[in-house]
């Protein structure tokens, strides 16, 4: 089974790209190449369809992205720019945790939803960037956490079994 790869070129030739970056495939390889500079603004729907075919059904897709409602989050005149900054953008549809909990997880308090969640699609439930402890230990030092007495023997237990990842009315974000 051949793997289909999507490459986004911003007006650069293959020769130029391969000079500056390792791993740029040759045009002779069987690739699906999409030139962004050849797409019109309305072709973002086409890009979404190409991406959906390339990633397959194993991904969880954020409903606005799946329904091609890009302008729900992105400025149509400057694609990539949000219509509102995080977290206000996310709170248009999702709970405002700042008004829910006494103690907030630092990324929630800082309005950095995308430090844990992918706003488009991911293989992980709840659109998380990583699974289980890998998500928490991306920022929190694993050795420091596991040497604490109350974490003895947790092995691969998901941190969210004891901690709320958004916030809590208890210290240390305990459930």
The tens digit of pLDDT for each residue in 80-137 reads 799 999 999 999 999 999 889 999 999 999 999 999 999 999 989 999 999 999 999 9
For residue 27, is pLDDT > 70? Answer: no
Question: How confident is the model at residue 7, as a pLDDT?
Answer: 41
Q: In Å, how far are 33, 125, 130, 162 from 175, measured between CA atoms?
A: 47, 19, 21, 6
- C-alpha closest to that of 31 among 4, 60, 2, 50: 4
CB proximity list for 50: less than 8 A, separation 6 or greater: 6, 32, 34
* CA–CA dist 138, 144 (Å, integer): 13
- % of the chain at pLDDT higher than 70: 67
Residues 36-62 have pLDDT tens digits of: 444 444 555 566 666 656 655 578 899
* CA–CA dist 14, 12 (Å, integer): 7
Mean of all residue pLDDT scores within the chain? 79
Question: How confident is the model at residue 29, as a pLDDT?
Answer: 40
Tell me, yes or no, if the pTM score tops 0.75.
no
Q: What is the β-pairing status of strands 6-9 and 32-35?
A: parallel
pLDDT band at 78 (very low <50, low <70, confident <90, very high): confident
């Amino acid at each position: 089974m051949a793997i289909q790869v999507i490459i986004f070129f911003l007006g650069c030739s293959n020769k130029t790209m391969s000079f500056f970056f390792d791993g740029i495939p040759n045009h002779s390889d069987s690739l699906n190449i999409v030139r962004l500079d050849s797409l019109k603004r309305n072709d973002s729907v086409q890009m979404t369809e190409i991406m959906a075919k390339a990633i397959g059904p194993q991904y969880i897709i954020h409903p606005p992205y799946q329904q091609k409602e890009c302008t729900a989050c992105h400025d149509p005149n400057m694609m990539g720019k949000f219509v509102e900054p995080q977290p206000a953008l996310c709170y248009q549809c999702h709970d405002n945790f700042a008004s829910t909990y006494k103690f907030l997880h630092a990324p929630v308090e800082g309005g950095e939803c995308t430090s844990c969640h992918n706003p488009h699609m991911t293989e992980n439930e709840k659109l998380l960037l990583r699974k289980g402890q890998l998500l928490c230990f991306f920022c929190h030092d694993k050795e420091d956490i596991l040497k604490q007495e109350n974490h003895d023997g947790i092995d691969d237990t998901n941190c969210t079994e004891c901690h709320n990842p958004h916030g809590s009315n208890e210290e240390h974000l305990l459930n």
